[in-house]
Amino acid sequence: MGSWSDFRRDRILVAGQWVSADNGGVLDVIDPATGESIGTVPNAGVAETGRAIEAASAAFETFSRTTAAERAKMLRDLSTAILDNQDALAELLTREQGKPLAEAKGEVGMSAAYILWFAEEARRVYGDTIPSPWGDRRIMVTKSPVGVVGAITPWNFPSSMLARKIGPALAAGCTVVAKPASQTPYSALAWGVLAEQVGIPAGVINILTGSAREIGGELTSNPLVRKITFTGSTGVGKLLLKQAAATVKKVSMELGGNAPFLIFDDADLDRAVAGAVAAKFRMPDRHASAQTDFMSRPGSTTASLKPSRTPPKSWSSAPGSSKVQLSARSSTMQPLPRLRNSSATPSGKARVVTGGKRHPKGDRFYEATVLADANATMNFAHDEIFGPIAPVFKFETEDEAVRLANDTEFGLAAYFYTQDPGRAFRVSERLQYGLVGINEGMITTEVAPFGGFKESGVGKEGSKYGLDDYLDVKYVCVGGLGL
Ligand code: NAP
């Protein structure tokens, strides 16, 4: 059991060595709750990335030939090491990311769960034999690791988003060059510390911090990298897709979302409100309700969310992750001028039911906010909201609810509440989303596939499907058998 500072590294990990940027440049890491620096990390670029890729490629030669049982053991040990240090890792995560300590602990627990899941899956990478159309030949299908994986991750889940990539990559026998978000690099560098502790060979996991453009450019253009896995915004995802096209890399993209949360008139309202508060005030997006008394409930429930961050014991609610996101939150209080695909100007004005202003805790905190009278012309109907804001739209019919929910280029997650089983199937089948929660607001688990439809992404993470993108399928024809 270490302390959070035992896991804070101010160097990048390349070929098993903790090193500075070539030019000695650094980036500050800011605690979003206080605005103060908690340290620096190297500002690396193309050259360091090239060396990390070469190290990963060299390590791949031997690591890809380890047995599944050996890799499963490494991953099991990694999962145990994460849990043994859950408190320290959670504190590190909260200090750089700002989410409440309990949520950070939950995220670190999810990281351990993903790694354990892929430890188990490593031993189940089965191939096939296929009935041959030729009497003297036999057909086999084998699966092999794709090679060096470039992994780029966002600020909002700085630990678990890497777990979903490192886990399947190592289970398959791939090696990794990872680049976390510049706002939250320490949780990623901590993976390097843990990997060393459990004896994962040098070069198998390399971790870079620094210029996104330079590191991303090298990862997507270097022919030694065979796969890019990215979690982040749709805009950056599209750029990486373009860049990776030149060397035809495999890609997995976990991109933006704008999750609708539908409450039908036959819903169990208490359950729906509890689900909405739990799900939406972690990563809130859109609510729609056919129930007139829905609006009277969230106010009293959100009042129980405690926006305090007096380290270390009472960290229990999130400050803004940055000034930029905080101002984006306050601007969602009114219709914004920029619309997705419409020439219409925003009409009407949302009404604040509860919250709606900066929290007395300080200008880096914002109150959990519920807005009534939202409509489809307003930006939060289409755009991602990073803040504790729940705009509520009213709908009259099931068709309208589904149309409203699908009226976005995103397709990550959708939730709805109904007690009618027919409606449960009808609506879930029509929702154009990769994840659907029916009467449940918290549905993420390592055993189920996570991944979006439409512009929310390509590929799946977690579950038995999460390994597919790290494996090449090879057809082997054995001829001349003289049968
Ligand atoms: P972002 O701005 O797209 O950044 C994500 C990562 O991409 C960061 O490491 C960033 O590095 C890097 N990046 C930025 N520009 C780049 C470039 N030109 N080339 C290569 N890399 C580049 O997203 P974010 O604001 O950190 O994260 C929030 C987004 O992630 C949201 O859209 C959210 O929906 C999405 N997300 C999706 C899922 C999912 O599972 N689908 C899960 C979590 C988050 P720097 O930090 O150095 O700029």
Instruction: List pLDDT tens digits, range 19-32.
Output: 999 999 999 999 99
Tell me which of 49, 186, 231 to substitute to probe ligand 1's pocket, judged by most ligand atoms within 8 Å of the beta carbon. 231
- Residue 247: pLDDT band with limits 50, 70, 90: very high
Measured in Å, residue 344 CA sits from the centre of ligand 1 at 29
Identify the residue whose C-alpha is closest to ligand 1 atom 33.
256
Between vectors from CA 319 to CA 415 and to CA 462, what angle results, nearest 5°? 40
Identify the residue whose C-alpha is closest to ligand 1 atom 20.
216
Measured in Å, residue 250 CA sits from the centre of ligand 1 at 18
Identify the residue whose C-alpha is closest to ligand 1 atom 10.
181
- Phi, psi (degrees; rounded to nearest 5) at 407: -80, 65
- Write the DSSP symbol of residue 256: -
Instruction: Give me the percent of the chain exceeding a pLDDT of 70.
Output: 86
Span 250-298, pLDDT tens digits: 999 999 988 999 999 999 999 999 998 887 676 445 556 555 455 555 4
Identify the residue whose C-alpha is closest to ligand 1 atom 42.
231
CA distances to 48, 313, 392, 404, 410 from 345, rounded to whole Å, are 47, 46, 19, 18, 21
Bridge partner list, 287: 261, 392
What is the atom index within ligand 1 of the atom nearest the CA of 210?
A: 47
Span 401-424, pLDDT tens digits: 999 999 999 999 999 999 999 999
pLDDT of residue 375: 85
Measured in Å, residue 236 CA sits from the centre of ligand 1 at 7
pLDDT of residue 276: 86
Asked if residue 421 has a cis previous peptide bond (ω within 30° of 0), the answer is no
Measured in Å, residue 152 CA sits from the centre of ligand 1 at 7
pLDDT of residue 290: 58
Span 163-222, pLDDT tens digits: 999 999 999 999 999 999 999 999 999 999 999 999 999 999 999 999 999 999 999 999
Distance spanning both ends of the chain, measured CA to CA: 62
pLDDT of residue 310: 33
- Whole-prediction pTM value? 0.89
* Mean pLDDT for the chain overall: 87
Q: Which of the pair, 332 or 216, is modelled with greater confidence?
A: 216
What is the atom index within ligand 1 of the atom nearest the CA of 154?
A: 26
pLDDT of residue 294: 57
Does the CB atom of residue 296 touch ligand 1 within 6 A?
A: no
Does the CB atom of residue 96 touch ligand 1 within 6 A?
A: no
> Does residue 305 surpass a pLDDT of 70?
no
Distance CA 152, CA 44 (A): 14
Measured in Å, residue 254 CA sits from the centre of ligand 1 at 9
Does the CB atom of residue 466 touch ligand 1 within 6 A?
A: no
Does the CB atom of residue 151 touch ligand 1 within 6 A?
A: no
Does the CB atom of residue 261 touch ligand 1 within 6 A?
A: no
Distance CA 162, CA 186 (A): 12
